[in-house]
Amino acid sequence: MGNSIPQKTRYTLITVLFIVLFLFSLFLFSKRTLEPSVSIYQQSFSLTESHVHSSVPTFPEPPAVLEPLNSSTHPPIPSISQADELDLSSNASSMDDQLSAPDKQNPPADNKAVDNGEEKKREMCDLYRGTWVKDEEYPIYKPGSCPYIDEGFDCQSNGRKDSDYLRWRWKPDGCDLPRFNTTDFLERLRGKRLMLVGDSMNRNQFESILCLLHEGLTNKSKMYEVHGHKISKGRGYFVFKFEDYDCTVEFVRSHFLVKGVRMNGQGNSNPTLSIDKIDKTSGRWKRADILIFNTAHWWVHGKTARGINYYKEGDYLYPKFDAVEAYRRALKTWAKWIDKNIKPAKKLVFYRGYSSAHFRGGDWNSGGSCNGETEPILSGTFLETYPLKMKIVEEVIQEMKVPVILLNVTRLTNFRKDGHPSIYGKRLTEGKKISTRRQDCSHWCLPGVPDTWNELIYATLFFNKQFSKE
């Protein structure tokens, strides 16, 4: 009995062993219980993000840099200082809420996941890749309802009978453009000056935006041209005031954006183009808050295309100069002016890309035609046509210091061979037949394709935080 463990010690050891076993069992139980909880949480979070990506219809914020030349590009919108931010109307707020609201039947568990999903969805959606879809709510304004369309674009009044070309809406792949809202658009322009600068294609767009805004105004007498001028192709400067919003929408004609001279020092006709000097209208450009530039179609006309005794740099007149290289240098001159004179914290700059023409059997002055076209091109290699001019535009914009938004309408206009005035660019004279001798297959009927360009501008403002009042 001398080697036996005292009874008191035995009880102590048994108690300690029992406690150790209890703690070990508790540890195992806790580990098995906690692990499924973590796994379930992770799975739930993953499903939430997946749901957000697939169900929230959002819109892209423009990328920080341009994509490769074979893709549509739109650099970032420059920031606007807090003092110059534009107000949002009540209409705009409701539209914002509607477009950004998550699925009510499956509300996401994490608001942060919603925000992240929206941002990723926006980055994935390319505004300029898509297709045209029939929409019976189009056009936004009816033919004959707008007093600001000049004769050349007023196809229905000029005798065009078909109307299906009016009912197409641009649908980007992966997202929808917001419906144009006049009140919201003007609220974002409040106290600002929007100016379109360019050739007759930009005048086409200018008349379109006037009609879109006119359609939505309750008191249309509060919209007027400040000098009393009526719209006509002969005048190169218009300023339309929107009294209730203290803003203007303006057009400045500048075919090339660089300095052109029609007469020489002796008063004789001797047109030249100084591709290293900015156009004389640039003094007006400085006054605008939002600028929309373009130049393209005049670079393939007559003396501009031939380049003989036409292009100048400094005092030197080139006997022969390539028109494509001249276009590149002219755009670089424009880009330098923008970088020097535009403050991106205060102003916003767009460059509208090349708008496709659809001549058959010739050009604008050699028997080319497009009459009888009533449907868009829905398939074929022409839809991927992307002119060298647009690659030059992208290269120039990439090198600029000031962010410029490329309104890249080239491919979306490739579809629309049905949208041109063709033989309906002039009023019908009683007793005379419509002439098919010279047709307009470059400009666009209004209502029509340029309305979409302005919807894209509206969408850019709509989805950019700098144009919203927090």
Q: Catalytic residue numbers?
A: 200, 440, 443
String of DSSP letters for 11-57:
HHHHHHHHHHHHHHHHHHHHHHHHHHHHHHHHHHHHHHHHHHHHH--
Cβ count near 196 (within 10 Å): 29
User: What's the token pair of residue 115?
Assistant: 């925000």
Task: Return the HEC string of 88-99.
Answer: CCHHHHHHHHHH
Estimate to the nearest angstrom the gap between the alpha carbon of 186 and the chain centroid: 17
Q: For residue 460, what are the CA distances in angstroms to 75, 297, 376?
A: 11, 25, 25
Which residues lie closer than 8 Å to 20 by C-beta, 6 or more apart? none
- Three-state DSSP at 227 gives coil
Cβ count near 120 (within 10 Å): 15
Alpha carbons within 13 angstroms on the beta-carbon side of residue 463 total 27
Nearest to 271 by CA among 283, 257, 259: 259
Report the distance separating Cα 283 and Cα 227, nearest Å.
Answer: 19
User: What's the token pair of residue 290?
Assistant: 């939002």
Report the distance separating Cα 359 and Cα 54, nearest Å.
Answer: 41
Cβ count near 42 (within 10 Å): 10
Nearest to 465 by CA among 8, 92, 4: 92
